[in-house]
Amino acid sequence: MDLVREWTARKACALQHALRETNDSFAARLGIPSRTVVSWHQKPDLVPRKAQQQLLDVLLERATASERARFAAELAEDTSAAGFDDSSASGHVLRVAIAVVANDHNVLMVQRREDNGSTSWQFPAGMIKPGASAATTAIRETLSETGVHCRVTRHLGSRLHPITQVYCEYLLCEYLGGEAQNMDVVENVSVIWTPSDRLTRFIPAETIFPPILDALEVRNSE
């Protein structure tokens, strides 16, 4: 196959598989965030943005003959391409560290851009790389996304997220310093502190990990 008329997330993942790339290395070759590749695996029918389509075109054009052959085979085996498992490519189970950063009675939030053009409010988060800890990842991603320095005070637990189906580690963090600002304008629209008792105005209560609400309620009562 020498031409893709329109890329879908499934086709992009098929190309990734054909190139024998991990999520991180595939994202690096495309010059996009790793979390975008993760979202392609989660939503195979998603249509990447126009700029991402062009990047995929270039990557396919530069592929070797054997890589193109593998890509065509991946597309032919649609069920295999649709069910491509991230853990087999990366060599580890995909885990994400979620930082619940509290400052007095406020909690840090980021407004994330979604691939479909919409936005959603979330806590600072990042993928836990092999050999890294959830705590280190939470601190690092909070700083890189928001400019806020924090320290982990408690591990709140873990779960398979009900919407993204990604394994999440939740960490309660204490604000140390720094002005909250949008440090990643490509991925995020804005960064704010919001009163923790108004958290459900930003994230539906039914999707919030219950220990988060419990921990914030305890802080508010202190």
Which of 90, 120, 153 delimits the end of a domain?
Answer: 90
**Do 73 and 123 fall into the same domain?**
no
Tell whether 1 is covered by a domain. no
The answer to whether residue 4 scores a pLDDT higher than 70 is yes
**Do 110 and 213 fall into the same domain?**
yes
Q: Which residue, 189, 196, 190, is CA-closest to 173? A: 196
Q: Does residue 70 sit in helix, strand or coil?
A: helix
pLDDT, tens digit (0-9, with 9 covering 90-100), for 107-120 = 999 999 887 778 99
**Do 66 and 153 fall into the same domain?**
no
CATH code for position 176: 3.90.79.10
Range of the domain at 60: 9-90
What Å distances lie between residue 85 and 62, 155, 160, 200, 212, CA to CA?
25, 27, 15, 32, 29
**Residue 130: per-residue pLDDT:** 79
Which of 37, 67, 90 delimits the end of a domain?
Answer: 90
What does the pLDDT average to over 45-59?
90
Q: How many domains does the chain have?
A: 2
The answer to whether residue 2 scores a pLDDT higher than 50 is yes
The answer to whether residue 98 scores a pLDDT higher than 90 is yes
Percent of the chain exceeding pLDDT 90 equals 44
The answer to whether residue 143 scores a pLDDT higher than 60 is yes
What does the pLDDT average to over 95-105?
93
| Beta strands 95-103; 167-177: pairing state | parallel
Phi, psi (degrees; rounded to nearest 5) at 147:
80, 10
**Do 74 and 127 fall into the same domain?**
no
pLDDT, tens digit (0-9, with 9 covering 90-100), for 54-74 = 999 999 988 888 888 788 877
